[in-house]
């Protein structure tokens, strides 16, 4: 099931996936309205959606021209659709005007409420909050209703699974439902009725899947994301008011966005392209020089943005694991950031555009994050398992260990589709760690400390036979989702308690 979900959802970018989910909810809303299951008429839903999207679109285009940058129109569509589900559908001119103002504020917030080209707040949430503070309208979150709940839940689960933030989303949902239930029960409502009300009258599931999980407004580390989920859940379900300001989901989300900004990457990242190096017949390494220092930990990722004409459904933003070590470039005296990626013959337009970059070209990046990092305690032995180009985060980690003189016990199991597809061979040979190779055929010669353990595909039994003390090691698995899911399950069955994973979904 997970392999099927990875394959289906991995065909499109997160932006395209959330756009499709929101459009599907819009269609479902119209059908339920026609069937008499919703209070709002189809005309009101269509009018509100059209105004919200048009205002957000127009605002984004105008401010992109003012700031001399390119508008991300698919993001504007997402924001407009979110506003549709926040404000009550209407055909009234005054109400539609206030929704248009919310759309303009939402689009403008990406440019005006930004720090060094990085926006701080969820645009839809800040648009709704400002309109509420101005007392022009208020967010009713009408998406929270019984007939729509099953469809919202499916979309939220799909988005949270695709972003690997399902635990964070579930934490938010469980805590928010519990807080609402306790408050309602203390007021005399029955327990079952209180739980039902929490799910059908509060936008808990929708906010968790469609807004709380927005990558650009999340902190970089998982424990920080869990803490954020707790803060937003408490604020969203509390009851207070100070003048025009009162407890609401949009207020809670905006506060959470601000906290995330304070602990995360607080500036946009600009990278000057240095050059490329072919690693294998199907993979390349791309090296960049940051215009300003970039802080990251070995094993983390960066989201690159490369706008280009004729972009396919995968869009112009991708997440790549960083292959270089912090503060250590691949060239003497240089401070660079590099990425290794597979570029098959039939590749995405993003990768083709990346391959066509000329030295000196500038690429922007939106965020750095991830928890695929080594334990701080150097006495804890480590097992690294890489499939294909999933080797890249380990290259960063091993280079960092070498540069800092860290001699911890590391075993690397590397599965390649063929001997010619072994990436970073020279760099792996420089280390003092053991390397277990899995490939269809055994290479004629292998570097010292390398052992060929079989033709593959790599299985849990094969891995555990080659590393008998795996249960005593911190394990890290990186590669295609099918490999990662299979080996994670096998390692846990074998008693390995600490397993971190990094999915390479094909981008």
Domain boundaries 382-503, CATH class? alpha beta
d(CA 252, CA 122): 11
pLDDT recorded at residue 506: 41
Helix (H/G/I), strand (E/B), else coil: 48: helix
Identify whether the C-beta of residue 324 lies closer than 8 Å to the C-beta of residue 285.
no
pLDDT recorded at residue 401: 92
pLDDT recorded at residue 334: 41
d(CA 438, CA 464): 13
Per-10-residue mean pLDDT of the chain, 507 residues long, equals: 58 80 97 95 97 95 86 86 97 96 95 77 95 94 96 95 89 97 94 96 96 85 92 93 87 94 74 94 94 88 84 75 77 70 85 92 86 91 93 94 91 91 88 90 85 87 89 90 83 85 63
Identify whether the C-beta of residue 354 lies closer than 8 Å to the C-beta of residue 295.
no
Q: Report the sign of the C-alpha dihedral through residues 187, 189, 190, 191, in that order.
A: negative
Backbone torsions φ then ψ of 35, nearest 5 degrees: -85, 0
pLDDT recorded at residue 331: 42
Instruction: Outline which parts of the chain fall under CATH 3.40.50.80.
Output: 382-503
Q: Beta strand pairing status for 382-387 and 410-415?
A: parallel
176 torsion bin: left (phi>0), alpha (psi -120 to 50), beta (else): alpha
Count of CB atoms situated within 10 Å of the CB of 35: 9
- Which H/E stretch holds residue 282? none
Of the candidate CATH numbers 3.40.1550.10, 2.40.30.10, 1.10.620.20, 3.20.20.80, the domain formed by 269-369 belongs to 2.40.30.10
pLDDT recorded at residue 266: 54
User: Two tokens at 19?
Assistant: 């756009």
Among 259, 298, 307, 295, residue whose Cα is nearest residue 368: 295
Count of CB atoms situated within 10 Å of the CB of 362: 11
Cα dist from 157 to 160, 313, 504, whole Å: 5, 21, 20
pLDDT recorded at residue 10: 57
Count of helices and strands (H, E) across the chain = 17, 16
User: Two tokens at 391?
Assistant: 């080797």
- CA 89 from chain centre, in angstroms, equals 30
Identify whether the C-beta of residue 25 lies closer than 8 Å to the C-beta of residue 206.
no
The reported pTM is 0.77
Helix (H/G/I), strand (E/B), else coil: 78: helix
Among 353, 339, 175, residue whose Cα is nearest residue 271: 339
Identify whether the C-beta of residue 346 lies closer than 8 Å to the C-beta of residue 374.
no
pLDDT recorded at residue 467: 92
């Amino acid at each position: 099931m997970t392999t099927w979900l990875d394959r289906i959802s991995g065909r499109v970018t997160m932006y395209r996936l959330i756009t499709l989910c929101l459009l599907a909810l819009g269609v479902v809303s119209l059908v339920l309205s026609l069937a008499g299951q919703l209070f709002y008429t189809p005309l009101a839903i269509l009018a509100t959606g059209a105004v919200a999207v048009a205002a957000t679109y127009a605002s984004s285009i105008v401010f992109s021209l003012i700031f001399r940058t390119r508008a991300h129109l698919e993001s504007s569509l997402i924001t407009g659709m979110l506003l549709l589900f926040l404000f009550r559908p209407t055909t009234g001119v005054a109400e539609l005007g206030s929704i248009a103002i919310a759309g303009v504020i939402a689009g403008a917030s990406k440019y005006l409420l930004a720090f060094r080209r990085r926006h701080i707040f969820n645009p839809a949430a800040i648009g709704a909050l400002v309109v509420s503070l101005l007392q022009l309208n208020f967010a009713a979150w009408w998406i929270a209703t019984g007939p729509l709940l099953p469809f919202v839940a499916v979309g939220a689960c799909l988005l949270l699974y695709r972003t690997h933030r399902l635990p964070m989303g579930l934490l938010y949902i469980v805590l928010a439902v519990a807080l609402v239930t306790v408050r309602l029960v203390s007021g005399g409502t029955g327990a079952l009725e209180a739980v039902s009300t929490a799910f059908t009258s509060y936008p808990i599931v929708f906010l968790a899947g469609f807004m709380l999980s927005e990558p650009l407004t999340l902190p970089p580390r998982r424990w920080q994301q869990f803490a954020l989920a707790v803060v937003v859940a408490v604020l969203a379900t509390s009851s207070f008011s100070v003048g025009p300001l009162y407890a609401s989901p949009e207020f809670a989300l905006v506060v959470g966005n601000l906290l995330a900004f304070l602990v995360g990457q607080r500036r946009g990242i600009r990278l000057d392209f240095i050059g490329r190096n072919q690693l294998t017949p199907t993979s390349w390494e791309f090296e960049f020089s940051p215009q300003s220092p970039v802080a990251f930990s070995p094993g983390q990722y960066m989201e690159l943005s490369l706008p280009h004409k004729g972009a396919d459904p995968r869009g112009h933003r991708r997440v790549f694991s960083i292959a270089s070590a912090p503060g250590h470039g691949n060239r003497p005296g240089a401070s660079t950031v590099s990425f290794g990626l597979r570029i098959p013959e039939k590749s995405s337009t993003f990768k083709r555009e990346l391959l066509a970059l000329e030295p000196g070209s500038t690429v922007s990046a939106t965020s750095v994050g991830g928890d695929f990092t080594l334990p701080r305690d150097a006495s804890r032995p480590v097992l690294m398992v890489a499939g294909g180009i999933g080797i890249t985060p380990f290259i960063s980690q091993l280079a960092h260990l070498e540069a800092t003189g860290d001699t911890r016990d590391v075993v690397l199991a590397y599965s390649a589709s063929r001997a010619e597809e072994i990436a970073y061979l020279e760099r792996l040979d420089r280390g003092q760690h053991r390397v277990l190779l899995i490939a269809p055929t055994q290479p004629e010669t292998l570097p010292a400390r390398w052992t060929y353990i079989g033709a593959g595909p790599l299985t849990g039994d094969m891995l555990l036979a080659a590393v008998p003390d795996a249960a005593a090691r911190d394990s890290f698995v990186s590669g295609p989702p099918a490999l990662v899911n299979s080996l994670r399950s096998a390692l846990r069955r074998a008693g390995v308690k600490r397993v971190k994973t990094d999915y390479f979904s094909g981008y």
